[in-house]
Structure 1
Amino acid sequence: MPRGSSPKRERQYGHIEKGARRRGAGPARAKEIAARTVNKERARTGEARTASRTSTRDVSSARRGGLRSHGGAAGPTYDQLYAEARRRNIHGRSSMNKAQLKRKLSR
């Protein structure tokens, strides 16, 4: 974090870093994600001395995260479908693809 950051940005950095670690990012990658996100938000709100054009005119980090947070039309992953098929003891599940698993589980 840059010197002189507000307590709010310090908390934001910590939350983002913890979230990235929870999702499986390594320590260095989690710090990078947190720093970039916080710096972008600082630039958007005018807290930073310099700001790139994309930082100020692009979609906010919070909005982008919200757009990406839901599975949407893609639905559950193959691994999630496979785990459910295993739980229900569906035979032939190991040779099925995602669409086949989805069909079999919807019955």
Structure 2
Amino acid sequence: MPAGSSPKRERQYEHIKESELDRGVGEDRAEEIAARTVNKERARAGESRTASRTSTRDMSSGERGGRRSGKGAQGPTYDQLYNEARQRGIHGRSDMNKEQLQRALDKKK
């Protein structure tokens, strides 16, 4: 955490870090996730000196809730699978549904 962070942000950092550790994420990765999340929230609240457009205009970390990670209960999104299939040159991908894309990608590995 940056020097001079508020006690609220320190608590938020520790809470996120502990949550990540409970999920089985390594120590370094948990610290990185916590720091990035708290820094983004600080930028959105105007508590940091500099802030990127992404930090201030994008949806909040809490609202996003891992939507972009592709590692949730339902796995990667259709769009993520489609893009990976395109990169790997899988033919017929535009006619495939999510499950078919996943199977085709698994075969191609």
- Using the size of structure 1 for normalisation, the TM-score is 0.62
Mapped partners of 1:67, 1:54: distance in 2: 16
Which is helix-richer, 1 or 2?
Answer: 1
What SS is found at the alignment partner of 1:2? coil
- Using the size of structure 2 for normalisation, the TM-score is 0.61
Partner of 1:33: 33
Deviation of the 1:22 alpha carbon: 0.6
Partner of 1:53: 53
Matches within 5 A, 1:77-92: none
1:44-86 deviation digits (Å, cap 9, x = unpaired): 0000000000000001001111868x85xx4xxxxxxxxxxxx
Partner of 2:5: 5
Moved over 4 A (4+): none
Partner of 2:43: 43
* Length, aligned pairs only: 72
Structure 1 residues not aligned, in runs of 5+: 75-107
Partner of 2:63: 63
What SS is found at the alignment partner of 1:46? coil
Q: Given residue 6 of structure 2, which amino acid in structure 1 is its aligned partner?
A: S
What SS is found at the alignment partner of 1:42? helix
